Amino acid sequence: MLVRVLVGAAVGVTILQKVIGENIAFGKTAKQSTTHGEYNASIALDEIYSNRGSTTGLGNPSWWEVDLRGYFSISNITLTAVDMIWNLHMRNAFVEVMDKDVSLCSDVQVAWCGNVSSTVASEEEFTFTCNATFPVRFVRVTRPGNDRLNIGHIDVQGVVATQRYRSHFTSTANRKVSFPSLATSAVTAGACGILCHKSHSCIDFSYRTAASTEANCLLTYEEVPLNSVADHAWRMYTLASCL
C-alpha cells in the first residue's frame, strides 16, 4: 500500500512508523451531497468496507461529511482510496474541519487540513495534519468539479476538547436515552445539562423528576433519536448544531 503523509499544506514527508489510535469518526453520523447506488456515506467510516467505500453522484462540487457528535482537537485525518478504478474519484479532494454545521449556520469556523494529489493509486493513503485553533465537531471532504467523490475509508484522530460556546439544547417530551454513556442524578434538568456540558463528549441527555438517590440524568454521545425510546416520565434534550 502506498502511503503519503502531508503536513499542513501539500508538503510530503517520510515517516518510519505510523501510529494510529481510536478512530473517533467510527460509528458517528455521516452524510454526502448525493449517493451513487448503495454506496452511502456511512460506508467510509468502517474499514471493513474500504475496498468499496462511499460514493456520491455527479456534483459540482461533491462532498462528504461526518458529525463527530462531540467536540475534539483533531491531530490528523487519513483518507484511503479503494482498490479499484473508483480510486480516481478521490483525486484533488480536500479536507476541512468545522465547529458547526455549515448547512445550518452562518458563523462557522473552518480550518483547512490539506488536499489529495491529482494522481491516486489503488489503496493509497493520504494523511493530513489539522491545526484548527477551535474545538471541531464536523469533518468535510470536498471534491471540486463536476464529478463523483469516492472515499474508501476515513480515519480521524483526536482527543476530546472543551466546547467553548454556551450550550443550547432543544427538548422533546416523552423520550429517554436507551443506552446512556453515564447514568447519574441531578436536582434539575439544568443541572443535568451542566453535567453534560462538563463531560465534553456528551451531545444529548435525558432528565426526569425523581428522588436525589435515583439515576434521573442520562448522558450520551450517541445520535438521537437512534439512541432513544419512548417513555412518558422522561424528556430528551439534544444539543443544537448551530449555537
**Residue 155 and residue 48 in one domain:** yes
Domain boundary among 160, 194, 221: 160
Count of Cβ atoms closer than 10 Å to residue 182 Cβ: 17
Same domain assignment for residues 35 and 60:
yes
CATH of the domain at 217: 3.50.4.10
- Alpha helices per DSSP H over the chain: 189-199
Domain of residue 49: give its range. 3-160
Out of 99, 128, 160, a domain closes at 160
Q: Which residues of the chain have pLDDT under 50?
A: 2-19, 165
Residue 69 shares a structural domain with residue 147: yes
Claim to verify: residue 156 and residue 173 sit in the same structural domain: no
Shared domain for 45 and 139, answered yes or no, is yes
Q: Same domain for 21 and 98?
A: yes
* E strands present in the chain: 3-6, 12-13, 29-32, 54-55, 62-80, 94-98, 110-115, 125-129, 136-143, 150-151, 153-160, 169-177, 182-184, 204-207, 217-220, 228-239
* Residue owning grid cell 471540486: 144
Q: Is there a single domain that holds both residue 69 and residue 13? A: yes
CA distance 109 to 159: 19
Do residues 86 and 151 share a domain? yes
- The pLDDT, as a whole number, for residue 13 is 31
Question: Is residue 141 located within the same domain as residue 176?
Answer: no
Residue where a domain stops, chosen among 137, 160, 183: 160
Report the pLDDT value the prediction gives residue 44, as an integer from 0 to 100.
97
* pLDDT of 9: 37
**Tell me, what amino acid is at 85?**
I
| Bridge-based pairing state of the strands 217-220 and 204-207 | antiparallel
Check: CB of residue 158 under 8 Å from CB of residue 75: yes
**Predicted pLDDT of residue 126:** 97
Total structural domains within the chain:
2
Nearest to residue 241, comparing CAs of 94, 139, 101, 102? 101
User: How do residues 67-101 score in pLDDT, each as one tens digit?
Assistant: 998 889 999 999 999 988 899 999 999 999 998 88
Please check whether residues 156 and 58 belong to one and the same domain: yes
Residues 80 and 122 in one domain: yes
The CATH number for 125's domain is 2.60.120.260
128 in the same domain as 54: yes
First CA to last CA distance, the chain: 42
CA distance 142 to 53: 15
